[in-house]
Each structure stands twice: as structure tokens, then as C-alpha cells.
Amino acid sequence: MSISQATAFQPAPRTSLSAWVTIVLFLPPAILLFTVFVAMPMGEAGWYSFYNWNGYGRPEKFIGLKNYGYLLDSAPFARALLNNGLIILASLLIQLPLALGAALLVNRRFPGAVWFRMIFFLPFVLADVAAGLIWHFVFDGDYGLVSSVTTFFGAPPFFLLADKTWAFSAVLIVIVWKYFGFHMMLYIAGLQGIDKSLLEAAEMDGAGPFQRFRYVTLPLLGPMIRLSIFFSVVGALQLFDMIVPLTGGGPFDTTNTMVSFLYYFGITRMRVGFGSAVGVVLFLICVTFAFVYRRLFMNDD
């Protein structure tokens, strides 16, 4: 037997002892945490959704898919779905360009740039509930900031949060105000990762500022923008804490999101089975989006 033949035969690599120790030590806690806090609640929610249950004791009245039927018939739920869609649209069409514009502005080194970054980022630091409460008072037609503006112009008091058609626009305003700072920070990080020499090269080739932005900056910011969209959409689907103090579901259930719908129609009405059905639907939407989005857009990131 020649040496080359002997060395050509390689026994299957054996996992070393230290590797096994690592697996045994770290995997069970991770699996336990995931099971107890993620897998089990999801499974239980799915199970509860087949029952008419008020949250007390154990579920007893099995009703099969009826909860999902009630959900499909529910006009407030359809509105909540639409609202979630509107939040995503506003995030993509208003918040994103705003954050990108702000990032481009404050990325330059001018005196006070760091202060501006901090000011724009501050709303994000505020808790959702606090933001909702503050803006509830701001929009108050009798005592809030809005009332100061209307009295200054001599107009009659305007109650935005009581208006069936426009109350949701108040929610969108608060959302954009709150989160554009976070996305701005993401874009600043992205911008700072762009090689300056590329922009210089483009300038030397005669590209104007807008062309530089469109053909150099934007494509290089691509991964960051895709990430920012991902955060936006997932965050929009989960929005709840801001809705409760701001509008409480709004005049005639026009400002609910899916999670606040779950809370008001499921939990506070002690229809936990129905609430679980909403939770399952929300979960399916989120998971579908996450997988599709990663597949389509973030394959290379």
C-alpha cells in the first residue's frame, strides 16, 4: 500500500470531548428557555383558541374553529388589520425617507451635529406608554397644545382623538415622531460604513450630489435599509402600548391594532379563547412576513 493511498483514507472526524461538553452544557438551558417561553405559550395559545374560555380555571367549552369564524366576521378586527397595514405604509413612505434625510443631514461634521442626533433620537428612548400619555394631552382639544394653537388662530376647539376619520392619523403622527430617530441612527451607522473614496471617485467622475446619492450611497445603504424595513414592519405588527393611553382603541374601534384588539376584545372581555385565536393569527402573519422577507430580500446580508 502506497503512502498516498494510506493518507487518502480519512476516518470520519470525531467530535472531541470538549465539543461535547460545550453542547451538553449550553444546549439544554437554551432549549429549555426557548421551550418554556416561546414554544409552549404558542402551543397553548393555539390550543386555547379552540375553546370558549373566560380565563378562569381550565378551558372546558370546546368550540373548534368558531373563534376564527367570529374573528373573520368581526368588523373591528378588519379595521385593526387595516390599521396595522397603514402603520407599515406610513413607516415605509413617511418615516423611512424622513429618517434617511435626517441621517444624511446630521452625518456631516458640523458643530452641534452630535446634539441634533441626540435630539432626534430622544423620542425613541421614551417608553411607548409615556409617549401615548403625553400626546393624549397634547391632542386634547380643551387643554392641550392643540387647543393653544386653535385659540391662537381663533378657530373652534378641535378634538382630533374624538374624530372617527382622523383619530388614526394622530396615532401615525406619534409613531413617526417616536421611531424615526431609531432608524436615523441605523442609517447613520450605515452611512459611516460607506467608503469615502467611492464618493470621491464618483465626484471626480462628474456625478452631482443627487446622482452620488442615488448610485453610490443608496445601493451601499441597501442592507441597512432592508434591516430598517424589517424592524419597522415587525414593530408595527406588535404595536400596543401606545394605543391604550393615546386613544384606548379610539372612537368606535377605529384606532385598534391587532394586539390592542386582542387586549380589548379578548382579555378585558374575558374571552381568552377568542384572544388566543387573534394571537395565533398575529403569529402566523409575523412568521410569514419574517420568512418571506428574509428569503426574498435579505438572502445576501
Partner 1 sequence: MNFRQVALASTVLAFGAATAWADTTVTILHVNNNAVATALWDKIAADYEAEHKGVKIEFKYLENEAFKAKLPTMLQSDDSRPSIIYSWGGGVMDAQAKAGFLKDLTGEVAGAESALAPTAVEAFKDDGKVVGVPWDVGEVAFFYNKKLFEKAGVKAEDIKSWDDFLGSVKKLKAAGITPLVVGAGEKWPMHFYYSYLVMRIGGEHALTDAKAGKDGGFKNATFVEAGKRLRELAALEPFQPGYLSTSHAQSAGMFGDGKAAMDLMGEWVLGMQAPNSASGKGLPAEDIGILSFPVVPGGKGKATDTLGGIHGWLVTKTAPKEAVDFVNFFSQEKYAKAAAAAGAYIPVYKGAEASITDPAVKHIATDLAATTYHQNFFDQDLGPSLGRVINDISVAVAAGQMTPEAAAAALQEAADQQ
Q: Does 37 bind partner 1 (CB under 8 A)?
A: no
| Among 50, 253, 260, 262, contact with partner 1 (rule: CB under 8 A) | 253
* Closer residue to partner 1 in complex, CB, 20/37: 37
The answer to whether 46 contacts partner 1 (rule: CB under 8 A) is no
Give me the least distance between CB of 244 and partner 1, in Å please. 9
Among 268, 296, 299, 300, binds partner 1 (CB under 8 A): 268
The correct pick among 54, 150, 169, 238 for binding partner 1 (CB under 8 A) is 54
Burial degree of 194 (CB within 10 A; 0-12, 13-18, 19+): middle
For position 70 contacting partner 1 by CB under 8 A, the verdict is yes
Which residue in the set 33, 41, 101, 164 belongs to the binding site for partner 1 (CB under 8 A)? Answer: 164
Minimum Å gap between C-beta 162 and partner 1 is 4
Applying CB under 8 A, the span of 33-41, 83-91, 106-114, 135-143 interacting with partner 1 comes to 135-143
Are 172 and 236 in contact by the 8 Å Cβ rule? The answer is no
Q: Does 245 bind partner 1 (CB under 8 A)?
A: no
Q: Does 123 bind partner 1 (CB under 8 A)?
A: no
List of residues contacting partner 1 (CB under 8 A): 52, 54-57, 70, 140-143, 156-157, 159, 161-162, 164, 247-248, 251-253, 263-264, 267-272
